[in-house]
Structure 1
């Protein structure tokens, strides 16, 4: 890959033969991410619908739901661990092969969840095994995002990274759409059938999806940016592991994590938690699921638009607009939901979805451009998965506890949006605009005398 200098900035230029390969890479990352998030988010929906009764039966429905959301949080806790584990090997040995491993791991864990006996069949062993498999799901997703993001970003030219990253980013709403449609179909079954065997079908179906994804993923080439870094590393091997270098200079990881908290918190409230909340105030379960399908369709349009916009006006600007909109709309959102009108609820959630997409879409190029090549997989993964853990991992659980503690008032839910968006805005003020950075930047070891000369791509 060649480079050119425009307006004082170095820009990567793709070779003439790279366009076809770039499309293959983007498609591979889209399909792989969609399959990963189908499995991961399917669990979230089932936790709200059936897992409380199947794996955590009790006299109180609220307690069972809280317990089910607790296992949901476990998966998010495991995501940074996956980012560290697979990020280490991805930074050392390449992106492509690690992505095959993460997809296979997710497929195995999801199929086993679909085969897992209930609490009524094997007692406490059932929820224990469920937690173990949820951890494996979290580890797989934690390693998936960074590799899929970097494969696209490191193949693309600097002026269009956002556009191509937007295609990969569609994997999240596409995976959610697939999982929601799967859930919508099985919820047509009688409740007794859904509880006993119907919920298992979407998990077992993931086996077929993973086979397709593995085939597509095996046919792409390794990241050219990583290959160049690997060639340099033959004579310039770093003395420390990617993780140890990030620990010595943690500022970029902490800022990346804080910048991504708001979109994850908002999406957790609008997907996992909204089912329990809306049905609790009188909405029909099938109506809520149809609204969630609508939100996925909105995201399929809004995410690529916001990603492309970040190529024009900057990553920080797009995220800032989305976070500001989320703060302004936090209280009106739940006022619309609380009317009991499905049309008003849908309208409010669509507006919130657009703000969420504006915060979420630029994260792939933003976080990727914040780190040098030999720590990029680990650094971007830790920032993104840390944000997902803090923003989404515990939000449904915390929201359920606050609802119970405040007599069902939605005010704490709006405050969650305001606080998390405020955190993201604060982080953005301390991050320099990354649009157009040269991804071939050689990493600089941190120095106490020059704290700004860290492992981020300056």
Structure 2
């Protein structure tokens, strides 16, 4: 089954717009956790403990993601990619809008934070099922030889969603403190309901993935895709989960933890760091498609190894520049790190997708990505806050933590590249034996 020439572009555009909305929802929670949720839902005499509690609720969303990846992976490999994307979009929009309506701890006692954690779980479930389907709808519609580039459109939604979230929080940060803490913080969450309607309308107009349709028509769908992919491709899952580490955790380090670090330990204003991150995210947005195109030219595996190696080194100049407190130098330091993270993030989705057969691909990439994100992405802001508090005034432990995350990605990319090369050689030998 083939699509007409405009369908790949429509699928890529739908993946981009859909993930933009999903990541907007996810990032506004991250910013709220860094700026207001600790005081509103986890009040304490110790600001660090309140912030860590808020980041703990942020991590809860990641705990749900591997489970959601398995559930939606199973359904996506059995029923189709498109149906799952409509479900996850609706779930995210409802959960995020409801956070904007929640009573705080002062208004409802323990029920406030309990409701927050429940809705955060729903957010995590949504993203856990969303990512794999969006990547596959873009890559499986792509022309031959362009899968990595087209899959990068799903990844492009991350900086776009972050830009929307930054704009929303930059606007409300100008409010009087009492107004912000009373009702202003709710506005970005309530906007999600409008965005959800837009996203659903766009996704309805894109046909099902042709590769999945071909698997279904030939009656080759897996009855138990999750167990099949874990049994047959567990090494691919392990290395793919490691490979995404810095692409997931690194962004929450630079875009979430860094807000807390510079405001609490360097006494830099919230508006200054938000302005800095806005410029950085614009650079990320512009650089990601360029990285995907470059990777196609030099080879995706080689490109990913180079970038992961550079990510090990980059936190040291980043922190030296951030410590100056100068807006220009801070922006340059964080941008240097983020452009490298974005390069890996742009390419890794399509590279991972090619590591799994179509009949179990949704399950394979969802489990891999969400497992890696749960273990490192959700805990990074909390661990960063702990290290900053324990080593007050010293940035090198934070830089070493960042380097460790990048090293995990380098190990994962190297292992995944080796498995793909081995599989290609095996297929080539089998083909030559068949010809003989």
TM class by smaller structure: over 0.9
State the partner residue of 1:398: 383
TM score, norm. by length of structure 2: 0.94
The reply to whether residue 350 of structure 1 matches residue 335 of structure 2 is yes
Which of 232, 246, 250 is the aligned partner of 1:266? 250
Which sits farther off after the overlay, 425-434 or 99-108? 425-434
Q: Distance in 2 between matches of 1:47 and 1:408?
A: 23
Task: Note the C-alpha offset of 1:297.
Answer: 0.6
Task: Note the C-alpha offset of 1:317.
Answer: 1.8
Task: Note the C-alpha offset of 1:167.
Answer: 2.3
Which of 98, 114, 123 is the aligned partner of 1:112? 98
Q: Distance in 1 between matches of 2:409 and 2:26?
A: 24
Task: Note the C-alpha offset of 1:429.
Answer: 2.0
Q: Distance in 1 between matches of 2:51 and 2:201?
A: 38
Per-residue CA shift, 1:278-323, capped at 9, x if unaligned? Answer: 1121211101001111121111111101112222222222222221
Q: Distance in 2 between matches of 1:374 and 1:64?
A: 45
Secondary structure at 1:370's aligned position in 2?
coil
Q: Distance in 2 between matches of 1:67 and 1:329?
A: 29
Point out 4+ residue stretches in structure 1 off by more than 6 angstroms.
Answer: 433-438
Task: Note the C-alpha offset of 1:175.
Answer: 0.3
Are the structure 2 counterparts of residues 394 and 232 from structure 1 closer, same or farther at C-alpha, using a change threshold of 3 Å? Answer: same
CA RMSD of aligned residues (A): 1.9
Answer yes or no: is the 8 Å Cα contact 1:88–1:241 preserved in 2: yes
Per-residue CA shift, 1:238-260, capped at 9, x if unaligned? Answer: 4x511111232311111100011
The structure in which a higher percent of residues are helix is 2
The reply to whether residue 167 of structure 1 matches residue 153 of structure 2 is yes
Q: Give the total of aligned pairs.
A: 423
State the partner residue of 2:183: 197
State the partner residue of 2:169: 183
Are the structure 2 counterparts of residues 434 and 103 from structure 1 closer, same or farther at C-alpha, using a change threshold of 3 Å? Answer: farther
Answer yes or no: is the 8 Å Cα contact 1:109–1:137 preserved in 2: yes
Per-residue CA shift, 1:246-279, capped at 9, x if unaligned? Answer: 2323111111000111222221111010110011
Answer yes or no: is the 8 Å Cα contact 1:102–1:143 preserved in 2: yes
Unaligned segments of structure 1, at least 5 residues: 2-14, 444-458
Which of 50, 53, 63 is the aligned partner of 2:39? 53
Q: Distance in 2 between matches of 1:140 and 1:31?
A: 16
Are the structure 2 counterparts of residues 141 and 75 from structure 1 closer, same or farther at C-alpha, using a change threshold of 3 Å? Answer: same
Answer yes or no: is the 8 Å Cα contact 1:323–1:359 preserved in 2: yes
Secondary structure at 2:45's aligned position in 1?
coil
Which of 61, 71, 82 is the aligned partner of 1:75? 61
Answer yes or no: is the 8 Å Cα contact 1:366–1:435 preserved in 2: no
State the partner residue of 2:124: 138
TM score, norm. by length of structure 1: 0.89
Q: Distance in 2 between matches of 1:111 and 1:248?
A: 39
Q: Distance in 1 between matches of 2:343 and 2:156?
A: 13
Answer yes or no: is the 8 Å Cα contact 1:161–1:311 preserved in 2: no
State the partner residue of 1:5: none
Q: Distance in 2 between matches of 1:357 and 1:237?
A: 34
Answer yes or no: is the 8 Å Cα contact 1:314–1:433 preserved in 2: no
The reply to whether residue 245 of structure 1 matches residue 231 of structure 2 is no
